[in-house]
């Protein structure tokens, strides 16, 4: 029953998380596009009011004319829309999902004893520490260098080093699947913290000054814009990290931390292309094709690097295979492997996901899933807690391709 309830919690949290993330990322991307696409106001009256940019657009059968006041409008409108609940709800549902999926069963999903043999409370504490410490370090870098000469470049370089170091640590301390999600959660936490600690408080200070008739400090807008730009470059790396759990060939690689860094670099470079493309279309900068090329080159390089070894070579290289390549795999031979490697979670005492592999009927029923998750994606056993060998995976592969017989 606990597994069933956790499945429902996972489903509903994931659904809500995706919905709110779409809303947050969609509005973020739109405003980055809007900022990059604004042109000087053509109307003299708008310029006198303090409008620094405008955009004419058509969508859904209507024409839109948004304008931007760099510091403040001449008069505060009665109804002002705030963009923050999209960010907060995305983070809250994401953290709840990470708790249900990984922290709740840390010994299964978070800990890989071949990397770090620590207790569940220790592993959970370190994982939560990643979220907090990265934000503190990132925020300190922005505070110290953000407003200095060439501050954006300095901040970008140091944050990139910080992300690489955190990726290395996560992938050397936690199970690969959890490590990728943890790095994504670390960046997402900083994104939401930027909104909570900087962007929204700055906007509230501007509104308070306008209501009180005080001069508005332009620094609030500059700082908010800086953190908003950081968020847009974090977005594609975070999205990859969130989706990576479906693609085990990335996080199970021996150098998975380099895979993670390369994928995040590709995402950030491609995002830079789209950001600068808006300016290129208005003649403000050169064509940013180099960023797109760098991102695509990184992806192509990863594709070549991660390509699987041919099955024949894998079988030949497997040590101490229990059966010769030409021999049929008998049920007793297969069952001996399952008993040692799979009964812990799918045997007579525990049946996670309602799957039992301690009978011929159960093995026959779940043959396709066994092959997919043990051989193809190598997700199971989770974090290889039972230390299944490549030779045993090859044996299961041969059993399945020979017809998955259990008689």
Structure tokens at 164: 């690489």
Checking 213-216 for CB contacts under 8 A at 24+ apart, the result is 216/71, 216/72
Q: Give the pLDDT score at 78.
A: 86
> How far, in Å, CA of 342 to CA of 362, rounded?
12
Mean pLDDT of 300-310: 86
Give residue 307's pLDDT band: very low, low, confident or very high (50, 70, 90).
Answer: confident
Give residue 266's pLDDT band: very low, low, confident or very high (50, 70, 90).
Answer: very high
Q: Give the pLDDT score at 383.
A: 72
Give every CB contact of residue 15 below 8 A, 6+ residues apart in sequence.
Answer: none
Distances (CA, A) of 158 to 53, 136, 139, 229, 232: 32, 13, 11, 16, 17
Does the pLDDT of residue 400 top 60, yes or no? yes
What is the residue extent of each domain of the chain?
90-305, 311-401
Give residue 314's pLDDT band: very low, low, confident or very high (50, 70, 90).
Answer: very low
Which pTM does this prediction carry? 0.82
In this prediction, what percent of the chain has a pLDDT beyond 90? 56
Q: Which residue has the tokens 């919690």?
A: 9
pLDDT (tens digit, 9 = 90+) per residue, 199-233? Answer: 999 999 999 998 888 888 888 988 999 999 999 99
Q: Give the pLDDT score at 47.
A: 92
Q: Is the dihedral of CA 41, 43, 44, 50 positive or negative?
A: negative
Size of the chain, expressed as the number of residues it contains: 407
Q: Give the pLDDT score at 370.
A: 86
**What is the maximum alpha-carbon separation in the chain?**
87
Give residue 234's pLDDT band: very low, low, confident or very high (50, 70, 90).
Answer: very high
> How far, in Å, CA of 182 to CA of 103, rounded?
11
pLDDT (tens digit, 9 = 90+) per residue, 180-191? Answer: 999 999 999 999
Does the pLDDT of residue 278 top 50, yes or no? yes
3-state secondary structure of 84: coil
Q: Give the pLDDT score at 316.
A: 39
Q: Say if CB 225 and CB 124 are below 8 A apart.
A: no
Q: Which residue has the tokens 């795999």?
A: 329
Give residue 376's pLDDT band: very low, low, confident or very high (50, 70, 90).
Answer: confident
pLDDT (tens digit, 9 = 90+) per residue, 319-348? Answer: 344 444 456 777 888 888 888 888 888 887
In this prediction, what percent of the chain has a pLDDT beyond 70? 95
Mean pLDDT of 263-282: 94
3-state secondary structure of 105: coil
For the chain, give the mean pLDDT. Answer: 89
């Amino acid at each position: 029953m606990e597994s069933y309830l956790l499945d429902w919690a996972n489903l509903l949290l994931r659904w809500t998380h995706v919905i709110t993330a779409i809303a947050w990322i969609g509005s973020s991307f739109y405003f980055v596009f809007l900022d990059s696409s604004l042109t000087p106001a053509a109307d003299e009256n708008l310029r006198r009011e303090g409008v620094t940019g405008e955009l004419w657009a058509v969508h859904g059968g209507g024409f839109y004319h948004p304008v931007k006041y760099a510091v403040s409008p001449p008069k505060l409108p009665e109804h002002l829309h705030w963009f923050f609940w999209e960010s907060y709800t995305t983070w809250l549902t994401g953290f709840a999902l990470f708790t249900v999926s990984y922290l709740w069963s840390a010994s299964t999903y978070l800990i890989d004893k071949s990397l770090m043999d620590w207790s569940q409370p220790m592993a959970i504490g370190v994982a939560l520490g990643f979220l907090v410490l990265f934000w503190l370090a990132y925020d300190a870098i922005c505070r110290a260098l953000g407003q200095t000469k060439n501050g954006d470049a300095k901040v970008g370089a140091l944050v990139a080093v910080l992300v690489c170091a955190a990726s290395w640590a996560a992938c050397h301390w936690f199970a690969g699947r959890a490590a990728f999600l943890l790095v994504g959660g670390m960046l997402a936490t900083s994104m939401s913290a930027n909104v909570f600690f900087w962007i929204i408080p700055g906007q509230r200070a501007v509104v308070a000054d306008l209501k009180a008739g005080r001069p508005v400090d332009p620094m609030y807008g500059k700082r908010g814009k800086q953190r908003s730009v950081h968020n847009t470059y974090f977005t594609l790396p975070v999205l990859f990290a969130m989706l990576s759990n479906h693609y085990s060939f990335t996080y199970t690689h021996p150098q998975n931390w380099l895979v993670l860094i390369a994928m995040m670099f590709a995402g950030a470079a491609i995002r830079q292309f789209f950001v600068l493309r808006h300016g290129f279309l208005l003649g403000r900068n050169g064509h940013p094709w180099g960023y797109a090329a760098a991102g695509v080159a990184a992806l192509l390089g990863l594709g070549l690097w991660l390509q699987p070894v041919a099955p024949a070579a894998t079988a030949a290289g497997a040590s101490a295979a229990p059966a010769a390549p030409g021999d049929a795999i008998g049920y007793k031979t297969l069952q001996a492997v399952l008993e040692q490697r799979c009964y812990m979670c799918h045997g007579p005492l525990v049946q996670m996901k309602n799957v039992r592999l301690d009978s011929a009927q159960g093995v026959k029923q779940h043959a396709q899933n066994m092959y997919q998750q043990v051989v193809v994606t190598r997700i199971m056993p989770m974090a290889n807690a039972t230390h299944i060998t490549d030779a045993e995976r090859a044996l299961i592969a041969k059993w399945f391709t020979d017809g998955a017989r259990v008689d």
